[in-house]
Amino acid sequence: MSDELSYLAQRAARGLMNRRAFLGRAAALGVTATMADTLLARAAMAAGPKKGGTLQMGLGGGESTNSLDPALDASQFPFMMLSTMGNMLTTVDAKGNLEASIAESWDSSPDAKVWTFKIRKGVEFHNGATLTADDVLKTMQRHSDKNSKSGAFGIMQGIADMKVDGDNFVVTLAQPNADLPYLMADYHLIVQPGGGMDKPDAGIFSGAYKLKSFEPGVKVVMEKFANYWDSSVGHFDTVEMLVINDATARNAALQSGQVQMVNQVDPKVADLLKRGKNITVAAAQGHGFYCFNMFCDTDPFTSNDLRMALKLAIDREEMVKKILAGYGSVGNDMPVNSSVPLFDAGIEQRKYDPEKAAFHYKKSGHSGSVLLRTSDAAFPGAVDAAALFQQSAKKAGITLEIKREPNDGYWNDVWNKQPFSASYWGGRPTQDQMYSTAYLSTADWNDTRFKDPAFDKLIMEARAELDPAKRKELYSQAGTMIRDNGGLINPMFNNFISAYRNDKIAGWADNPNQDMMNGLAAVKCWAA
Q: How far is CA 302 from CA 29, 292, 296, 308, 487, in A?
A: 67, 16, 5, 11, 9
Cis preceding linkage at 216, omega within 30: no
**Residue among 231, 412, 453, 467 that touches other proteins (CB under 8 A):** 412
Relative to beta strand 400-404, strand 420-425 is unpaired
- By CB under 8 A, residue 411 contacts other proteins: yes
Strand pairing category for 238-243 and 219-224: antiparallel
The minimum distance between CB 190 and other proteins, in angstroms, equals 16
Measured between alpha carbons, how far is 12 from 178 in angstroms, rounded to an integer?
47
Please state the φ and ψ torsions of residue 362, each to the nearest 5 degrees: -60, -45
Q: How many residues form the binding site for other proteins (CB under 8 A)?
A: 44
Q: Least separation, in Å, of the C-beta of 425 and other proteins?
A: 9
Applying CB under 8 A, the span of 146-154, 298-306, 331-339, 381-389 interacting with other proteins comes to 146-154
Nearest-approach distance from CB 98 to other proteins, in angstroms? 23
CB neighbours of residue 62 within 10 Å: 24
In terms of DSSP bridges, do strands 261-262 and 488-501 run parallel, antiparallel, or are they unpaired?
Answer: antiparallel
Residue 95: CB minimum distance to other proteins, A: 27
Looking at the Cβ atoms of 344 and 447, the one nearer to other proteins is 447
Binding window for other proteins (CB under 8 A); candidates: 120-128, 243-251, 451-459, 501-509: 243-251
Report the site for other proteins in 44-83 (rule: CB under 8 A).
58, 63-67, 72, 74
Residue 150 binding other proteins, by CB under 8 A:
yes
Q: Does 408 bind other proteins (CB under 8 A)?
A: yes
Contact segment (CB under 8 A) with other proteins among 257-265, 298-306, 354-362, 448-456 equals: 257-265
Q: Is 167 in the site for other proteins (CB under 8 A)?
A: no
Q: Which of residues 425-464 bind other proteins (CB under 8 A)?
A: 444-445
Query: According to the binding rule CB under 8 A, does residue 217 interact with other proteins?
Result: yes
How would you list the strands of the sheet with 103-108, edge to edge? 103-108, 114-119, 168-173, 159-165
CB 68 within 8 A of CB 85: no
DSSP letter assigned to residue 100: E
Tell me whether residue 7 or residue 445 sits nearer to other proteins (CB atom).
Answer: 445
Residue 415's alpha-carbon distances to 379, 409, 444, in angstroms, are 12, 9, 13
Residues in the chain: 528
201/510 with CB nearer other proteins: 201
Binding site for other proteins (CB under 8 A): 58, 63-67, 72, 74, 146-151, 153-154, 201, 215-219, 242-246, 248-249, 252-253, 255-259, 408-409, 411-413, 415, 444-445
